Structure 1
Amino acid sequence: MLLDADLLPDDIDVLKAMLVAAQAELGQRDLLIERLQMQLAKLRRMQFGASSERLARQADQLELGLEEVEADVAAVTAPALARMREAAKPFRQPLPDHLPREEVLHEPACACPDCGGALRKIGSDVTEQLDYVPASFRVIRHVRPRFSCRTCERIVQAPLPSMPIERGRPGAGLLAHVLVSKYADHLPLYRQSGIYARQGVELARSTLADWVGRSATLLDPLVDALERHVMGGGTLHADDTPVPVLAPGTGRTRTGRLWTYVRDERGWGGEAPPAVVFRYAPDRRGDRPAGHLRAFTGDLHADGYAGFDRLYGTKIAEVACWAHVRRKFFDVHAATGSATAREALDHIAGLYAIEDEVRGRPPDARRCERQARASPLLSALRSWLDATLPRLSRRSDLAVAIRYALARWSALVRYIDDGRLEIDNNAAERALRGIAIGRKNWLFAGSDQGGHRAAAIFSLIETAKLNKLDPQAWLADTIARIADHPARHIDELLPWNYRSA
């Protein structure tokens, strides 16, 4: 609204008061605009961001369109290329040596096509072609001949080997395939049933579900051994993610939680194998992680979830996550282009540059390097945060980000004095990525029991992947052996003790 100069008072003090009031109103409007821009940017990222299903579908359509265009180009150019002589063969990576080879011999006629004379061999040209044979079923027939003693007429027969499922028909390889397809490749059982039907094998979804439940029970002792290993370390990464769970009788879902606990000492050259254990809970109450971590003593990398606060004390020390701090400043910068947020991101980038250089080095070397190079950067960042906060509105998102960092400062800088600690909690977040992808396929867990079962199988599969193993090969071998394996030596079946044939 434009002001009429003739209507303004002549008193200077009154004019000053009016100016201060107008500036305060403008400041409130600027704050509102900033908050609305922040909310709008978040909504746009949710709607159009790289993790949204809508963009994923668009990307899928683009991929399909690209495939069709590339196929059309190949169809048009293939005949012409076949008629052209290669001036120089392009470099190609050799096909993997471990793949089986099948030779097809192409012999010419036994006489010269020009004169009819006899031919003698002077060499061969070999061209390798990569082909695919679809996965196939097989039937294993366990034949046990019976013998009788001619003297005492006793019947002698070899015992039937232990079956993974008592009185069941699936072999260890099939059970491993079903588990990995469901929990690693995110193929629901009804889709697997359809795939098997195309190969002429009718396996009902209910049958596959029964196999999954029995396999999980068979593998429970191994999951317990895995948990003992994870909780036996001195450092741990923890996080959680929501999981929709079907509410019986309502046709709706409620929200359960999958908690992950990761032991990964590779960052400082530790000898303990990396491992992850998942635990399911029907809610996010603080006593859930307290129960999961009752046997753990050491340093816990975690986010700012209040449920962890009751754990910190004599047994467990908090290690806060710089990635969470960075994310809050990044959100402000992405929404508003704030130069202040950009300055905070630059400070944090300097800390991560040092971590890139010390990753994998021994703890003492990491500690010395951090104290010499990162400590001055942290002191400068703390001074900058203290000086910047008073200049901001308390309700601004930038002020919230700064207060988040200051409130956790002592836990954020603990990694400087201990080379076994990490700068962030990304190890736990990486462990949860597969579950985030899977949620889009299996949509929900059927029950709380299904949540516990999924947590157990996720633990085994993700640990195998952390140890650079093929989960299906390891699970097939483990399922075949575990029924007859001595319980006191169950650790021998853990992924890092597996050696493929």
Structure 2
Amino acid sequence: MEKRTDSNTPTIEALREERDALKRENAELILKLKWFEEQLRLGKERQFGVSSEKTNSVQLTLSLFNEAESDANPQAPEPTVETITYKRKKKQGQRQEKLENLPVEVVNYTLSEHEQTCTCCGGDLHDMSTEIREELKIIPPQVKVIRHVRHTYACRHCERQATQTPIITAPAPKAVFPKSLASPSAMAYIMCQKYLDAQPLYRQEQQLKRLGVALSRQTMANWMIYGASHWLQLIYDRMKAKLVKQDLLHADETTLQVLKEPERPATSKSYLWLYRTGHLGPPIVLYDYQTTRASKHPARFLADFKGYLHVDGYAGYHALQSITLVGCWAHARRKFSEAIKALPDSAKDSVVLAKEGLAYCNNLFKIEQNLKKSNASDEERYQTRLKQSKVIVEAFSAWLKKQTPRVLPKSALGKAIHYCRTQWEKLIVFLQDGRLEMDNNRAERSIKPFVMGRKNWLFSNTPRGAVASSTIYSLIETAKENGLIPFQYLSYLFEQLPNLEDQTNETLDKLLPWSSSLPENCKLSSQQS
């Protein structure tokens, strides 16, 4: 007799399907849990950990170039790095070297003539020795009014006898901002306070009020926008013309909030793009404000550039024409470092794949450090990379392909491997030319002052203000890169530019930050730099 089953009773096949579905769901939940645990550890590390990416020299667990694999012992402890410490003897006269560039005011303490008498015998005293004490005197900012009075002259004889009387007015420098209280030094000071020392305008307003000056932040903002658009933009354009003629450049970008952009909410993200020269040619650092992160912006800015461009992994640079992109190994190393930090405590002391990936990167950077220490030429760097770095790069490529199917794609390690594989064609470009750098740290260092300043002044009010900010930042950072004192340099520009008879390329080039025509007071001394 055939056994019947109730229609409401699940069949064995249905139970198996339900079991398999629960297993898959459980596996997915476990993966999600591990991912969230990784993010939690990374978040704690970013908030409380050390921000430096320096790592100890990590040895590869798998020998890269030694064929005697049979000698390997996975249980053997990793060799430690011996740290040698020593005490450096203090250089004699070090204090004098620090003070030699400061003006000196001498105060003599002497006895009056009637006091220069011996208390014992009444004889005259002579100057036997001196005792010298040095101290620093700090003079706080002072504000004073400069009243420019132009005298006009006429001839009394012609006034009486001639039909026309010649009138001559004494020459005077033109104002940097007509019909305002702005002077070259005041405009330069406000710019440096905000963009060099990260002092927002409302704090400057309070500071000036304590000095007895009622100067509103709106007035100071007008000064900066006028100074940037009428005068500094001339120098900016000349620097851009010089920049795009270079063979090697670096680029990066960061966010910027602009409140009053047309047809955009105040919370929209805008971007400040950075373009700068490499270690060749005069140091030039330019910022470019744009509303989006679209690839059309670097394509337009670098339309006349043809050469190598160091970038990070952002895909917006891929559309650039006639430009060879150079990948950043510092980003690759950083991702493996984050993967190590995302590991649970139980796996910290074990040899993990993330440490192997980090070791490849560290070995490449070690070669670059040795080249830098030896002051290697571009050709020597190129040959060394072909002999030493290329072997490591090829081994790393094979390692990445091998590990890809063995790791979870969404894990921190999986993302590190994925980054290297997708960026590989750009990462290996540094082997083509000894002038190229392995990373884009030069651009990251140049964009950091803006990022730090943004934490204080938070946003720009209008697009005009954002453009002015990018121009002023460009002049200040380029001045710093060329060993200038930004305040003195900007003051000099605001004195010279309004009084240039012809604003030709030749006259403007004499005012560029690397020009030999700049006065000495604009330049940092060797002790200050």
On whether the aligned pair clears a TM of 0.5, the verdict is yes
Q: Per-residue displacement from partner, 1:208-259 (whole Å, max 9, x unpaired)?
A: 1111111112211111111111111111111100112214799943211000
Give the aligned residue type for 1:499: P
Instruction: Tell me whether 1:211 sits opposite 2:223 in the alignment.
Output: yes
Shift of 1:25: 8.4
- Bigger helix share: 1
Instruction: Pick closer, same or farther for the CA change 1:92–1:285 going to 2, 3 Å.
Output: closer
**For residue 493 of structure 1, what is the aligned residue in structure 2?**
511
Q: 1:64 maps to what in 2?
A: none
Take 1:21 and 1:165, find their aligned partners in 2: how far apart are those partners? 75
1:405, 1:490 → 2: CA distance?
Answer: 44
Q: When the two structures are superposed, what TM-score results if normalisation uses the length of structure 2?
A: 0.77
Structure 1 contact 222–494 (Cα < 8 Å) conserved: yes
The answer as to whether partners of 1:236 and 1:261 remain within 8 angstroms in 2 is yes
The answer to whether residue 104 in structure 2 is matched with residue 97 in structure 1 is: no
Aligned to 1:406, which of 401, 421, 424? 421
Q: How does 1:257-406 map to 2 (within 5 A)?
A: 257-264=271-278, 266=279, 270=280, 272-311=281-320, 313=321, 315-336=322-343, 337=348, 339-359=352-372, 361-406=376-421
Q: Is the 1:237–1:301 Cα contact (8 Å) retained in structure 2?
A: yes
Correspondence for 2:257: 244
Give the structure 2 partner of residue 40 of structure 1: 40
Contact kept in structure 1, 2:195 and 2:473, CA below 8 Å: yes
Q: Output one character per residue of 1:31-75: Cα deviation in whole Å (capped at 9) or x when no partner.
A: 444312211023224543567xxxxxxxxxxxxxxxxxxxxxxxx
- State yes or no: 1:140 paired with 2:120: no
> Deviation per CA, 1:321-374, whole angstroms, max 9, x where unpaired?
111111111111011047211111111111111112223543212101111111
What's the secondary structure of 1:125's corresponding residue? Answer: coil
Aligned equivalents of 1:209, 1:258: Cα separation in 2: 19
Q: Distance in 1 between matches of 2:94 and 2:118?
A: 34
The partner residue of 2:270 within 250, 256, 263 is 256
Q: Which range is displaced more, 157-166 or 233-242?
A: 157-166
Is residue 205–residue 215 contact of structure 2 (8 Å, CA) maintained in 1?
Answer: yes
Unmatched runs of 5 consecutive residues or more in structure 2? 1-19, 52-91, 160-165, 522-529
* Displacement after TM superposition at 1:29 (Å): 6.2
CA contact (8 A) 1:216 1:453 kept: yes
SS in 2 for 1:107: coil
1:114–1:387 distance in 2 versus 1, CA, 3 Å: farther
Letter in 2 for 1:98: N
Check whether the contact 2:173–2:499 (CA below 8 A) recurs between aligned residues.
Answer: no
Q: Contact 2:225/2:464 (CA < 8 Å) preserved in 1?
A: no
Distance 1:206 1:28 in 2: 56
Gaps of 5+ in 1: 1-19, 52-89
Contact 1:253 1:444 in 2 (8 A): no
Q: Secondary structure at the match of 2:256?
A: strand
- Structure 1 residues 334, 242: CA separation in 2 closer, same or farther (over 3 Å shift)? same
Runs (4+) of structure 1 exceeding 6 A deviation are 20-27, 248-251
CA RMSD of aligned residues (A): 2.7
Task: Tell me whether 243-252 or 284-293 shows the greater mean CA deviation.
Answer: 243-252
Q: Which residue in the other structure is 1:112 paired with?
A: 118
> Is the alpha carbon distance of 1:50 and 1:454 closer, same or farther for their aligned partners in structure 2, counting shifts above 3 Å?
farther
Give the distance between the partners of 2:484 and 2:268, measured in 1 at CA.
Answer: 35
Structure 1 residues 50, 483: CA separation in 2 closer, same or farther (over 3 Å shift)?
farther
The aligned counterpart of 1:193 is 205
Distance 1:199 1:351 in 2: 55
Q: 1:101 to 1:257 in 2, by over 3 A?
A: same
Q: 1:330 to 1:23 in 2, by over 3 A?
A: farther
Residue matched to 1:54: none
Judged with a 3 Å threshold, the aligned counterparts in structure 2 of structure 1 residues 210 and 300 are, in CA distance, closer, same or farther, namely same
Residues 456 and 92 of structure 1: CA distance in aligned 2, closer, same or farther (over 3 Å): closer
**Corresponding residue of 1:3:** none
Q: What secondary structure does 1:368 align onto? A: helix
> CA contact under 8 A between 1:149 and 1:156: conserved in structure 2?
no
SS in 1 for 2:473: helix
- Decide whether aligned partners of structure 1 residues 473 and 117 sit closer, same or farther in structure 2, where only a CA change above 3 A counts: same
1:227 aligns to 2:240 (yes or no): yes
Contact in 2 for aligned 1:220/1:456 (Cα 8 Å): yes
Which one-letter code corresponds to 1:324 in the other structure?
H
Q: Does 1:121 align with 2:127?
A: yes
Does structure 2 retain, via aligned residues, the 8 Å contact 1:247–1:254?
A: no
Counterpart AA for 1:413: I
State the TM-score, normalized to the length of structure 1: 0.82
Amino acid at match of 2:215: L
DSSP 3-state at the match of 2:510: helix
Instruction: Give the whole-Å Cα distance in 1 for the aligned partners of 2:119 and 2:209.
Output: 50
